[in-house]
């Protein structure tokens, strides 16, 4: 058998190698028009970026190594110019010499790949414009970049500017690698989002990350023309009438299948312009086979055949083609388009159909969004991951999944890809037993989590509304933000009411049960808990926002609320003049030189803000905190918090998955201190104060109380908490020192929970199972336990007051209470309440 393969890279080299392994006697010839075979085109951007420093490592095989190891006759610089199907021959032209000859075949494999599209725009042929497909393209781009950077480093020219047209995988890889080399990078994309294989909301976190790394994104605009500039370089004119200066331009606007040979030979083409093949990778000619970027294959989810220019499918198709050429009946079933890309520290990818494609195909589907962390939040180096799972509404079959994030994205994507290929359902995702230890995941893996949420939807345990349907989805309904008051104060949906989860049951008492309620929280978990509460309380029209505000903010550009500090924001120079305090002026303006490092990585909102607030309290004016955070939302939360508290944000820079910010202490306290230190004429602090009457001994209510208390403290407010009746139990020691007690006191002590750890839920206690569950969930989600919340409030300066009257009634002594509790009566409480701006009864 004589096999002739046209094209010698991914598909071609694989067909030839597999055929040799199956048929030692076959004559195998590979004809490749370029000067390299079997090179790693996926690695090309990284050599330009000097991440892969040795060029040779991209050349996986040579003509010689293929001859020696596989006895394949590889002829480079040999272009096939025609196929004579009747005679079963191809015409070959030697590119370097122009010599032509004819080669016969028994079987012909066409692995001619795809060509980069060069849009027909004015100036598109200028030499500064490049596509990146082959090693030769890479060499030219790298040489130009190297020389421009060398001149810039020598001071004989300004910075090097690169413009990338097209924000698909290759475009973004080029943007990253150019930036990595020190160039200024602009990316231009005609669509309103980057990365077409993702749905809009999934691409937005990657856009933020790109921008945070200094890449300028120009969305919803395209290149209109390219013109030479006087003095070198070119101008890229955009359709939105702006223009960009460029030394190098990369055109990465897509590829089109290279089917010229096949078309000329009369082979059948498909609807998308690729070669038609059957499941054996046979074309419309029984002796001609094809594989790779030039063919159309059935899609795993969508109807019809599609182009899928990816290396994995190319290699698998080639293997199937070779097996059939060698007499085996292997089938290539479908392509699901699993793909992934690294964009600086971020990773993004998808498998199966996107929501856009399902809609276009008219297929029924449901979607859920979850935002778990890549691995256990308490183990360093993780950040929020974004998952969108699409599934069939009746069977629950997985139709597609998209994942973006920092750590562990590839693993989750591959699990979803495997699930899709195996025909698994969301019920199966719930059951998958995946590898877990803190550095790698969570006991409930993000894939399980997506399965849980999707199954809840199918079971009717959860009713979702979607950010892309806003504001229509909230028409005529009350929008309920179930996050803490602190989170609410930083950002919330227009018109939303704040009903924190912790007070949901009491706050909604008396509400019309038929009223439409559209809930949301930050990622969808607390709103799910609220949903369950409300439905069981008899509310009939409740829905919760899929993916919470995290997903909402990807659809709707929203800024943190423009809430300033309680007092108008005062630049320090002005404040110092008013207060006549040279000392604090110098401290705050120049800094004290004291800098504290604060590690908040792995903490989810509002953890970093709470920790920051506590740390800030211990500092003096002019001291600085360098805070490291992995939560990307910190970029918008931090300026709002800093503004509100009157501090100064000196810098905020991307760091790993999140940010590092330097904040200098100014704040109302500093200003008050300045006044006291100077003239003594400054009015007393106007710090707002919240006082609580904590009457309840229910775990959930206590958690709510302390979350609010900590929130208030972190917003710079004073907090005073008066514990009476059952609330006092939260302050009891688990093991108080022994003392003489009356019989009745002993009885009471035995019946009541001894301390915060022993409190139970007001509802859904379920003989301890519900309480244990909520504690576990809090831990998993990085929410502090009640004892931790209490400690944090006390450390933050909250006054915790035990009601002496109740202590007498219940036979509780001061020694039974945890350290730091002050004792007081009604007068103490009333005094606190009188000074407070807000008083809450829990
Ligand atoms: P190719 O590998 O392009 O090979 C086709 C060969 O046929 C070419 O060498 C061409 O010269 C030759 N040829 C064409 N016509 C003739 C003719 N008439 N006579 C002789 N020879 C001919 N995919 C991924 O899955 N992941 C990635 O990360 C990824 N990164 C990429 C990065 C870059 C920069 C590029 C360019 C591609 C990337 N791809 C990636 C895509 C992947 O490389 C392709 O899907 C894969 O190489 C397709 O294999 P193929 O054999 O069909 O085509």
Concatenated DSSP letters of 133-189: -SHHHHHHHHHHHHHHHHHHHTTSS---EEEEE--SHHHHHHHHHHHHHT-EEEEEE
Which range (3-17, 457-471, 539-553, 741-755) has the least confidence?
741-755
pLDDT at residue 582, rounded to an integer:
45
Atom of ligand 1 nearest to the CA of 291: 52
Kindly indicate the confidence band of residue 648, based on its pLDDT and cuts at 50, 70 and 90.
confident
pLDDT at residue 672, rounded to an integer:
56
Whether residue 340 has its Cβ less than 6 Å from ligand 1 = no
Q: Is the pLDDT of residue 577 over 50?
A: no
pLDDT at residue 586, rounded to an integer:
52
Region 84-108: what's the mean pLDDT? 98
Kindly indicate the confidence band of residue 499, based on its pLDDT and cuts at 50, 70 and 90.
very high
pLDDT at residue 588, rounded to an integer:
61
Q: What spacing in Å lies between the alpha carbon of 13 and ligand 1's midpoint? A: 11
Region 802-818: what's the mean pLDDT? 83
Which DSSP symbol is given to 57?
G
pLDDT at residue 685, rounded to an integer:
40
Atom of ligand 1 nearest to the CA of 44: 34
Kindly indicate the confidence band of residue 797, based on its pLDDT and cuts at 50, 70 and 90.
confident
Q: What spacing in Å lies between the alpha carbon of 42 and ligand 1's midpoint? A: 9
pLDDT at residue 638, rounded to an integer:
80
Q: What spacing in Å lies between the alpha carbon of 409 and ligand 1's midpoint? A: 25
Q: Is the pLDDT of residue 678 over 60?
A: no
Torsion angle of C-alpha atoms 338, 342, 346, 349, degrees rounded to 10: -10
Q: Is the pLDDT of residue 453 over 90?
A: yes
Among 294, 297, 314, the mutation site with the greatest number of ligand 1 atoms within 8 A of its Cβ is 314
Whether residue 31 has its Cβ less than 6 Å from ligand 1 = yes
Among 6, 9, 81, 197, the mutation site with the greatest number of ligand 1 atoms within 8 A of its Cβ is 9
Among 95, 105, 113, the mutation site with the greatest number of ligand 1 atoms within 8 A of its Cβ is 113
Closest residue (by CA) to atom 16 of ligand 1? 112
Region 359-385: what's the mean pLDDT? 94
Whether residue 42 has its Cβ less than 6 Å from ligand 1 = yes
pLDDT at residue 562, rounded to an integer:
45
State the maximum Cα–Cα separation within the chain, in Å, rounded to a whole number.
112
Whether residue 632 has its Cβ less than 6 Å from ligand 1 = no
pLDDT at residue 117, rounded to an integer:
97
Kindly indicate the confidence band of residue 682, based on its pLDDT and cuts at 50, 70 and 90.
very low
CA atoms within 13 A on the CB side of 431: 6
Kindly indicate the confidence band of residue 654, based on its pLDDT and cuts at 50, 70 and 90.
confident
Closest residue (by CA) to atom 46 of ligand 1? 311
Contact residues for 285 (Cβ-Cβ < 8 A; gap 6+):
85, 265, 267
Closest residue (by CA) to atom 8 of ligand 1? 7
Atom of ligand 1 nearest to the CA of 318: 51
Whether residue 258 has its Cβ less than 6 Å from ligand 1 = yes
pLDDT at residue 676, rounded to an integer:
42
Whether residue 33 has its Cβ less than 6 Å from ligand 1 = yes
Nearest partner of 393 among 445, 351, 350, 358, judged by Cα? 358
Whether residue 261 has its Cβ less than 6 Å from ligand 1 = yes
Atom of ligand 1 nearest to the CA of 134: 36
Kindly indicate the confidence band of residue 670, based on its pLDDT and cuts at 50, 70 and 90.
low
Q: For 70-112, give the DSSP string.
A: H--EEESSEEEEEEETTTTEEEEEETTT--EEEEE-SEEEE--
Kindly indicate the confidence band of residue 567, based on its pLDDT and cuts at 50, 70 and 90.
very low
pLDDT at residue 655, rounded to an integer:
82
Rounded to two decimals, the pTM is 0.75
Among 4, 7, 178, the mutation site with the greatest number of ligand 1 atoms within 8 A of its Cβ is 7
Region 312-339: what's the mean pLDDT? 98
d(CA 779, CA 777): 5
pLDDT in tens, 161-185: 999 999 999 999 999 999 999 999 9
d(CA 661, CA 211): 17
Kindly indicate the confidence band of residue 153, based on its pLDDT and cuts at 50, 70 and 90.
very high
Nearest partner of 802 among 791, 786, 818, judged by Cα? 818
CB contact at 8 A, 318 and 17: no
Proportion of the chain above pLDDT 90, given as a percent: 67
Whether residue 519 has its Cβ less than 6 Å from ligand 1 = no
d(CA 200, CA 390): 14
pLDDT at residue 576, rounded to an integer:
33
What is the number of other CB atoms lying within 10 angstroms of the CB of residue 512? Answer: 12
Whether residue 262 has its Cβ less than 6 Å from ligand 1 = no
Whether residue 130 has its Cβ less than 6 Å from ligand 1 = no
Closest residue (by CA) to atom 14 of ligand 1? 112
Whether residue 12 has its Cβ less than 6 Å from ligand 1 = yes
Secondary structure percentages of the chain, helix, strand, coil, to 5: 35, 25, 40
pLDDT at residue 689, rounded to an integer:
84
Regarding predicted confidence, which is higher, 672 or 80? 80
Q: What spacing in Å lies between the alpha carbon of 257 and ligand 1's midpoint? A: 10
Q: Is the pLDDT of residue 68 over 50?
A: yes
Closest residue (by CA) to atom 31 of ligand 1? 42
pLDDT at residue 494, rounded to an integer:
93
Which range (221-235, 246-260, 355-369, 588-602) has the least confidence?
588-602
Region 106-126: what's the mean pLDDT? 97
The highest-confidence range among 118-127, 658-667, 674-683, 744-753, by mean pLDDT, is 118-127
Q: What spacing in Å lies between the alpha carbon of 459 and ligand 1's midpoint? A: 45
Q: What spacing in Å lies between the alpha carbon of 311 and ligand 1's midpoint? A: 8
Whether residue 11 has its Cβ less than 6 Å from ligand 1 = yes
Whether residue 9 has its Cβ less than 6 Å from ligand 1 = yes
Nearest partner of 605 among 639, 568, 637, 576, judged by Cα? 637
pLDDT at residue 823, rounded to an integer:
78
d(CA 593, CA 595): 6
Task: Find the radius of gyration of the CA atoms of the chain.
Answer: 33
Q: Is the pLDDT of residue 118 over 70?
A: yes
Proportion of the chain above pLDDT 70, given as a percent: 93
Whether residue 41 has its Cβ less than 6 Å from ligand 1 = yes
Residue 580, Ramachandran bin (φ over 0: left; ψ between -120 and 50: alpha; else beta): left
Kindly indicate the confidence band of residue 605, based on its pLDDT and cuts at 50, 70 and 90.
low
Whether residue 246 has its Cβ less than 6 Å from ligand 1 = no
Q: Is the pLDDT of residue 241 over 70?
A: yes
Closest residue (by CA) to atom 12 of ligand 1? 7
Whether residue 111 has its Cβ less than 6 Å from ligand 1 = yes
pLDDT in tens, 194-205: 998 899 999 999
Whether residue 660 has its Cβ less than 6 Å from ligand 1 = no
Which DSSP symbol is given to 738?
P
Q: What spacing in Å lies between the alpha carbon of 319 and ligand 1's midpoint? A: 16
Q: What spacing in Å lies between the alpha carbon of 270 and ligand 1's midpoint? A: 20
pLDDT at residue 85, rounded to an integer:
98
What token pair was written down for 397?
A: 């079959």
Q: What spacing in Å lies between the alpha carbon of 164 and ligand 1's midpoint? A: 20
Whether residue 133 has its Cβ less than 6 Å from ligand 1 = yes
Closest residue (by CA) to atom 53 of ligand 1? 113
pLDDT in tens, 525-537: 999 999 999 999 9
Whether residue 255 has its Cβ less than 6 Å from ligand 1 = no
Kindly indicate the confidence band of residue 486, based on its pLDDT and cuts at 50, 70 and 90.
confident
The overall average pLDDT reported for the chain is 90
Three-state SS at 568: coil
What token pair was written down for 521?
A: 């929280």
d(CA 225, CA 121): 6
Kindly indicate the confidence band of residue 400, based on its pLDDT and cuts at 50, 70 and 90.
very high
- The edge-to-edge listing of strands for the beta sheet with 223-228 is 223-228, 234-238, 243-246
pLDDT at residue 827, rounded to an integer:
64
The b-or-e profile of 522-532 (16+ CB within 10 A means b, else e) is: bbbbbbbbbbb
């Amino acid at each position: 058998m004589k096999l002739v393969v046209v094209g010698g890279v991914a598909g071609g080299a694989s067909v030839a190698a597999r055929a040799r392994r199956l048929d030692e006697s076959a004559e195998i010839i590979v004809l490749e028009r370029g000067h390299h075979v079997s090179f790693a085109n996926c690695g090309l951007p990284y050599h330009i970026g000097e991440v892969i420093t040795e060029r040779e490592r991209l050349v996986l095989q040579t003509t010689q190594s293929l001859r020696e190891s596989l006895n394949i006759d590889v002829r480079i610089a040999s272009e096939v110019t025609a196929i004579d199907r009747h005679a079963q021959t191809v015409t070959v032209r030697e590119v370097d010499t122009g010599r032509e000859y004819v080669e016969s075949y028994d079987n012909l494999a066409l692995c001619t790949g795809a060509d980069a599209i060069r849009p027909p725009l004015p100036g598109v042929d200028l030499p500064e414009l490049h596509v990146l497909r082959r090693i030769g393209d890479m060499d030219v781009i790298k040489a130009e970049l190297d020389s421009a950077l060398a001149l810039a480093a020598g001071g004989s020219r300004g910075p090097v500017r690169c413009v990338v047209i097209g924000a698909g995988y290759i475009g973004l890889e080029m943007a990253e690698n150019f930036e990595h080399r020190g160039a200024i990078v602009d990316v231009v994309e005609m669509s309103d989002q980057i990365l077409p294989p993702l749905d809009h909301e999934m691409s937005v976190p990657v856009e933020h990350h790109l921008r945070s790394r200094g890449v300028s994104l120009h969305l919803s605009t395209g290149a209109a023309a390219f013109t030479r500039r006087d003095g070198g370089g070119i101008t890229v004119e955009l359709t939105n009438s702006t223009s960009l200066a460029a030394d190098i331009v990369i055109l990465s606007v897509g590829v089109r299948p290279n089917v010229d040979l096949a078309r000329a030979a009369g082979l059948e083409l498909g609807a998308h312009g690729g070669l038609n093949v059957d499941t054996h990778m046979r074309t419309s000619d029984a002796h001609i086979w094809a594989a790779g970027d030039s063919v159309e294959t059935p899609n795993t989810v969508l109807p019809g055949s599609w182009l899928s220019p990816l290396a994995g499918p190319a290699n698998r198709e080639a293997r199937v083609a070779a097996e059939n050429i060698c007499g085996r009946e292997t089938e290539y079933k479908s392509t699901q388009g699993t793909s992934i890309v690294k964009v600086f520290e971020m990773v993004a990818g998808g498998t199966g159909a996107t929501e856009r494609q399902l809609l276009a195909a008219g297929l029924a589907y449901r979607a859920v969004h979850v935002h778990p962390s890549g691995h256990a939040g308490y183990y360093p180096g993780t950040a929020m991951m974004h998952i969108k799972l699409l599934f069939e509404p009746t069977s629950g079959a997985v139709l597609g999944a998209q994942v973006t994030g920092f750590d562990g994205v590839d693993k989750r994507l591959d699990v979803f890809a495997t699930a899709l290929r195996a025909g698994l359902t969301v019920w199966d995702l719930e059951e998958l037993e995946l590898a877990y230890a803190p550095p790698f995941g969570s006991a409930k893996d993000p894939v399980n989590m997506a399965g849980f949420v999707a199954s809840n939807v199918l079971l009717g345990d959860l009713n979702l509304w979607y950010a892309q349907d806003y504001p229509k989805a909230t028409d005529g309904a009350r929008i309920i933000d179930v996050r803490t008051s602190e989170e609410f104060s930083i950002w919330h949906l227009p018109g939303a009411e704040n009903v924190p989860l912790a007070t949901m049951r009491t706050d909604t008492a008396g509400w019309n049960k038929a009223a439409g309620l559209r809930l949301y929280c930050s990622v969808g978990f607390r709103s799910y808990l609220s949903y369950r509460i409300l439905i069981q309380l008899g509310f009939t029209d409740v829905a919760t926002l899929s993916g919470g505000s995290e997903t909402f903010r990807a659809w709707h550009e929203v800024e943190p609320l423009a809430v300033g500090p309680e007092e108008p924001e005062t630049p320090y120079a002005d404040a110092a003049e008013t207060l006549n305090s040279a000392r604090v002026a110098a401290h705050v303006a120049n800094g004290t030189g004291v800098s504290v490092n604060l590690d908040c990585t792995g903490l989810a909102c509002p953890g970093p803000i709470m920790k920051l607030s506590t740390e800030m309290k211990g500092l003096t004016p002019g001291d600085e905190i360098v805070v490291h955070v992995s939560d990307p939302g910190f970029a918008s939360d931090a300026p709002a918090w800093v503004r509100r508290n009157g501090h100064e944000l000196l810098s905020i820079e991307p760091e790993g998955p999140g940010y590092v910010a330097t904040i200098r202490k100014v704040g109302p306290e500093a200003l008050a201190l300045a006044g006291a230190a100077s003239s003594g004429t400054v009015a007393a602090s106007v710090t707002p104060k919240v006082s609580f009457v904590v009457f309840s001994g229910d775990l959930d209510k206590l958690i709510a109380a302390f979350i609010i208390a900590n929130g208030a403290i972190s917003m710079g407010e004073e907090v005073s908490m008066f514990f009476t009746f059952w609330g006092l139990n939260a302050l009891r020691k688990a093991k108080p020192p022994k003392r003489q007690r009356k019989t009745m006191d002993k009885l009471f002590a035995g019946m009541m929970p001894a301390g915060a750890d022993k409190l139970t839920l007001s509802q859904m206690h379920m003989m301890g199972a519900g309480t244990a569950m909520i504690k576990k969930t809090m831990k998993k989600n990085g929410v502090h336990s009640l004892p931790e919340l209490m400690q944090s409030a006390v450390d933050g300066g909250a006054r915790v007051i035990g009601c002496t009257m109740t202590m007498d009634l219940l036979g509780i002594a001061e020694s039974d209470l945890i350290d730091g509790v002050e004792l007081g009566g009604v007068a103490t409480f009333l005094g606190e309440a009188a000074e407070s701006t807000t008083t809450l009864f829990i």
